[in-house]
Amino acid sequence: MSIERELNKRSGSKCELCGAEENLKVYEVLPTKKGGLDESILACTTCIDQIENPDNVDLNHWRCLNDSMWNENVAVQVVAWRMLSRMRAAGWPQELLDMMYLDEDTLAWAQATGEGEDDENKIIHRDSNGVILEHGDSVVLIKDLKVKGSSMVAKQGTAVRNIRLDHENAEYIEGKVDGQQIVIITQYVKKI
């Protein structure tokens, strides 16, 4: 059965965030480990647009989180936490965040995108040209790199897709090169 069909069944064919019944899509909650049903939600295009474009956030639209933050599905809880964190300066979202409980693993997933961190504490990853890198971006290597602990050499011009950011060090990202997961220093990559 397709993920969309399963999500429709799970949600009653409604947006799992705001309850809208039209323009529904599968939204994968990044970063994913395995993908699939447990790491996806069914959301309307209005919610997805505001999740992906922080400048489009309509505070009143997100009052729905008062209900959806209690959803039993972890992916819904993660998105609710991220949106409440993004809007917490408005007052009422901070009150909801104070009531919300996420176990350690779920909170780590919710924080993985850097949402909820103060801007001055947020680690920003930049490529060799100073362009900001985000989780899931694609980069290209700008020089040959020897991979430590291996005889492998990652060649200049190699594309690395769906990178992961190191949330403790702004100079490190992770990605797969020739099927092997490696750590790459950001000064040797350029965003595609």
Q: Which pLDDT score is estimated for 114?
A: 75
Tell me the pairing of strands 40-44 and 24-28.
antiparallel
Complete edge-to-edge strand list for the sheet that includes strand 164-165 = 164-165, 172-177, 180-185
Q: Give me 71's structure tokens.
A: 């959803």
97, with CB counted inside 10 A (0-12, 13-18, 19+), is: middle
Q: Give me 157's structure tokens.
A: 């011009």
Give Cα separations from 165 to 3, 6, 98 (angstroms): 27, 30, 27
DSSP class of residue 64 equals G
Alpha helices, DSSP H, located in the chain: 3-11, 45-52, 65-68, 74-87, 92-99, 104-111
Which residues of the chain fall below pLDDT 70? 1, 116-122
Q: Which pLDDT score is estimated for 117?
A: 61
The whole-angstrom separation of Cα 84 and Cα 110 is 11
The whole-angstrom separation of Cα 156 and Cα 161 is 15
Output the pTM of the full model. Answer: 0.64
